């Protein structure tokens, strides 16, 4: 089994690779983790991760600049049925569009749009940065064994925008920051986390292990 992290000039590639290697080892998987800009390698991988940091539009431009990568992602998801995970802006790119200094089309996997966070408490700073527990909106294999709620494990967030999904069923978990913040989305064999599992210690490694065991 091969785990591919898409290299398109955005995201914490080394940290994500190390976290996935550790998560694989903890569940007894001898799975190579490759960081690659090769569309063919991505299309053939068994699990695929799309990281992302920075602005939505910049990340989309970078992804489009890798010849054949969008087609490889579509093939992996739609033809091969591979589990796919977007992280931070990689998760936001799953939306229909992003609204940040203009409108930028997303990958249209999760109907909805990415807009600036507007907390109900004006004293809360944007970007949202720090550790939050998660509240489950629905059960999902990605959350198996993870302690949720106020006394649960913590995930690390760093973002000024969030994905506002059109279909509430696509939102598996939220965090609280002056209102609910979309934390995990899923549809079919596609999932995304707004937080950084590679920086989220116990919760992050558990979620990545669940992703590698996931058979949607």
Say which DSSP state 109 is in. Answer: S
CB atoms within 10 A of CB 31: 19
Structure tokens at 15: 């940290």
Structure tokens at 195: 């937080």
- As annotated, the active-site residues are 88, 196, 198
Instruction: Give the integer Cα–Cα distance in Å for 215 and 175.
Output: 25
Q: Which helix (H) or strand (E) holds 24?
A: helix 13-26
First to last CA, the chain: 16
């Amino acid at each position: 089994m091969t785990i591919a992290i898409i290299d398109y000039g955005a995201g914490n590639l080394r940290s994500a690779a190390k976290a996935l290697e550790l998560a694989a080892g903890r569940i007894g998987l001898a799975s190579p983790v490759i960081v690659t800009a090769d569309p063919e390698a991505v299309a053939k991988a068994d699990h695929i991760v799309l990281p992302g940091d920075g602005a939505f539009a910049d990340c989309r431009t970078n992804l489009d600049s890798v010849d054949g990568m969008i087609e490889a992602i579509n093939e992996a998801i739609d033809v091969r049925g591979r589990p796919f995970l977007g992280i931070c802006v990689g998760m936001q790119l799953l939306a229909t569009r992003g609204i940040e200094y203009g409108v930028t089309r997303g990958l249209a996997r999760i109907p909805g749009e990415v807009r600036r966070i507007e907390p109900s408490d004006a004293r809360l700073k944007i970007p949202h940065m720090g550790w939050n527990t998660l509240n489950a909106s629905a059960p999902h294999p990605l959350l198996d064994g993870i302690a949720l709620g106020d006394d649960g494990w913590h995930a690390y967030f760093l973002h000024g925008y969030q994905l506002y999904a059109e279909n509430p069923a696509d939102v598996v978990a939220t965090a609280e920051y002056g209102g609910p913040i979309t934390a995990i989305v899923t549809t079919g064999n596609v999932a995304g986390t707004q937080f950084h599992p590679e920086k989220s210690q116990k919760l992050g490694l558990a979620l990545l292990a669940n992703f590698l065991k996931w058979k949607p």
